[in-house]
Amino acid sequence: MAFRMPGLLKSPAFGVGALTEINTRYDRMAENADKYKLAAQKRGAELFEEHKNVTAKLKIENQHKIYVASTYGETVADWLDFNEVLKMGATEKLEDFYSRTEKEVKKVQSAGGVPSDFIANENMYYGEQRFEDQTTSYNKVKDFMDTQNNVFGNSFGMLMEESTPEKMTKEQFGVREREGVPSLDRQVLGEEEGVKPVEEVRLKSLVSSKGTWGEGAKWLPDGQGSYFVEPTGDFMKTKLKTANVIAGLAYRFNAERSTEGAGVSAEQGVAVADMIIAKAQEAEYGADGITILPPSVNSALDDLDVINGYMAGNMPLGDSGVDIAVTATTQLYLYALQMKYGSSKLIQDISRQVRQRVQEHHNIPIIPESGAGLTTNI
């Protein structure tokens, strides 16, 4: 017996209606797929931006911990990290972060140091935990991308190519073995013995005695029969800070622990600080030997190369020491440049470009020194 199609199904109108409905559904599916893909692209871009911000924040925190450890000792750095002082707020400006940390260091010093019952971090690396946090952030983006590629095919990955992060290595992030970071409170490569607090006081007193710090500088007893200098004005304070940092770096790698050895390191610190200011503020003449040329990005970078070359040739600094030295010299140089020429748009542009070039070359943040007369947002 032949199959008999019901009259409704045999109707031409039904066939047309069914096909129209099917086509409409396919059109809606395609339209929704495009909407989902656009939404996924937007979310992917948001996740990648979050990852970039997290990576930058964690790297800066780690770099600053190494700086604090090198300048004030590992125990101080671990104490501040334990108390989340080195944790940078999401909306905090870099200069505010650095300024806040310096204030907290002074609080620790004023209180007589880190509490004796504090147990420091035993991890043999700086930055390993933060690197793991950075990796977790990276995996969040990668998992999202893998999921979307499964849904939309590899075309989604191609659409997001510019917003796809690369897996960072420990070296790229800045993980460093503690033994490779010079510090006042322990022995490091190149030292016969660790630098004792009494030696640090002596070194700073020697720096004070060998430099010039402007009119109105005060002299305070250091408790060892000598004196510290306390300059007036932010510029001279920055000069003294730079001289102390460079002298400290030179001394930590100097096996000579006599007063003479400390004196040589102090002289190197003062010499570098004086050289920085002289280079930033000396006039540059044109080919005729008469016309004075305005400062430029290239001339500033040339000056910094000379300064860094002098340090490299006169004191072994190690990888972390180089980063600290470059940061300190660049900060003082740009400050001196602005003290000489003011905060005109030209000087602001030069400072911004120099900081950017130094940061890109050394992979370290260069934060402007804040103080009276210094524009911190250049």
Q: Please state the domain extents for the chain.
A: 12-181, 184-378
Residue 274 pLDDT > 90: yes
Answer whether 0.85 is exceeded by the pTM.
no
- Evaluated on CA atoms 45, 48, 54, 59, the torsion sign reads negative
Neighbours of 67 (CB within 10 A): 22
Residue pair 204/227 in contact by the 8 Å Cβ criterion: no
pLDDT surpassing 60 at residue 185 = no
20-43 average pLDDT score = 66
> Mean of the pLDDT values across residues 43-60?
87
Q: What is the pLDDT of residue 193?
A: 46
CA angle 46, 47, 53 (to 5 degrees): 90
The backbone torsions φ and ψ at residue 137, rounded to the nearest 5 degrees and listed phi first, read: -65, -40
Q: For residue 309, give both structure tokens.
A: 């070359």
Q: Do residues 181 and 188 make contact, with C-beta atoms less than 8 angstroms apart?
A: yes
- Exposed, middle or buried: residue 294 (CB in 10 Å: 0-12, 13-18, 19+)? exposed
Poorest-confidence range of 20-24, 139-143, 239-243? 20-24
Range scoring the smallest mean pLDDT among 41-45, 158-162, 167-171, 369-373: 369-373
Predicted local confidence at residue 205, as pLDDT: 87
Q: What is the pLDDT of residues 98-133, one digit of tens each?
A: 778 888 888 887 787 788 888 888 888 889 999 999
Tell me the C-alpha distance between 193 and 185, whole Å: 10
* The residue type at 248: G
Look at residue 19 in the predicted model and tell me its pLDDT: 53
Binned at pLDDT 50, 70 and 90, residue 214 comes out as: confident
- Tens of pLDDT along 288-325? 778 888 889 999 999 999 998 888 888 777 666 788 88
pLDDT band at 337 (very low <50, low <70, confident <90, very high): very high
Mean pLDDT of 259-271: 84
**pLDDT at site 243:** 92
CA distances to 65, 136, 205, 358, 362 from 320, rounded to whole Å, are 11, 26, 25, 15, 11
